[in-house]
Amino acid sequence: PRDTIALRNGYEIPCIGFGTWKMPDGETGLEAVHQALSDGYRHIDTAAAYDNEETVGKALATAGIPREELFVTTKVWNSDRGYDATLKAFEESRRKLHLDYVDLYLIHWPAARGADADWQRTNQETWRALETLYLDGKVRAIGVSNFKPHHLEPLMDAAEILPMVDQIELHPGCNQQVTREFCNRHDIVVEAWSPLGSGRVLQNQLLIDIAASYGCTVAQLCLRWCLQRRAIPLPKSVDAGRIAENARIFWFDLTDEDMQRIDELDPLGQSGLDPDTVDF
Ligand code: A2P
């Protein structure tokens, strides 16, 4: 879990992260983050909207791991879009996390057509705040989440600093080929949220059969498929056994043929959260 890759600016990001969406605040969450850290995860992914930044912050502060070994991501929520609101939201996240810098700060969802007639401009203004935070040294890297190429393009046209990461729903059954290829071309690292399809793909017979042929679990197969598609998986679990299981994905390689068989499962077990229509 300590293997890293370099973002466009040279900053190192660990190639597996611990996801915390739906991780409860309080004792359960605290134990889960401690468990993840003791299993070797060094990359923790949270968001203002997950309502668990304080728990994550408390877990990090009490784990006794040097700050420079940790990689912490959080995200600005939709109701805080725009330059001033984003700067303010960042300060709130930073306070809850008890950090003096955040490793990666993301725009959680694109403002998109329908909800906001001037959505491109809204994204550009939010992005300008992320650039300010980056230039002020309060964040080590900046990026977006749930952006498709048609959201990224207008943002990149206006940007001074290009996004380094795009975090999207990615799992067997949701292979996101178009967005992944766009990101690869533009040196944007892809991160995978719900890499297990939030558990929805684990009963698939093809995945069960392929996993059996490697002697891994279906969850490990999903995570390995992500890695080999050049994405950083962010599995979430609050169970000690599964947290450890999800970190053990560096001992096997999927063949090109199996990678393709998994690609072809698309669509399967998708969340249905479409960035162009979702209305939070
Ligand atoms: P739990 O937290 O009880 O382990 P995703 O990261 O795709 O959103 O998936 C998270 C869901 O999958 C959670 O419901 C989590 O439950 C479950 N899960 C996480 N890891 C595993 C695993 N290795 N095997 C089976 N289910 C898992």
What pTM, to 2 d.p., does this model score?
Answer: 0.97
211 Cβ below 6 A of ligand 1: no
Cα–Cα distance, 270 to 169 (Å, whole number): 8
Tens-place pLDDT, residues 154-197: 999 999 999 999 999 999 999 999 999 999 999 999 999 999 99
Cα 195 to ligand 1 centre (Å): 9
Tell me the residue ranges of DSSP E strands in the chain: 4-6, 12-14, 18-19, 43-45, 71-76, 102-107, 139-145, 165-169, 189-193, 231-233
Query: Which atom number of ligand 1 is nearest to the Cα of residue 237?
Result: 2
**151 labelled binding-site residue:** no
Q: Is the minimum distance from the CB of 235 to ligand 1 under 6 angstroms? A: yes
pLDDT (tens digit, 9 = 90+) per residue, 113-133? Answer: 776 789 999 999 999 999 999
Question: What residues have CB less than 8 Å from 172, skipping those under 6 apart?
Answer: 197, 201, 204, 207, 221, 222, 225, 262, 265, 266, 268, 269
List the residue whose alpha carbon is closest to atom 18 of ligand 1.
237
Q: Considering only CA atoms, which of 44, 105, 94, 34 is closest in space to residue 69? A: 44
The rounded distance, in Å, linking the Cα atoms of 22 and 147 is 21
Average pLDDT, the chain: 96
Tell me, in angstroms, the distance from the centre of ligand 1 to residue 63's CA.
23
- The answer to whether 11 is a known catalytic residue is no
**Under CATH, to which class is 4-198+230-249 assigned?**
alpha beta
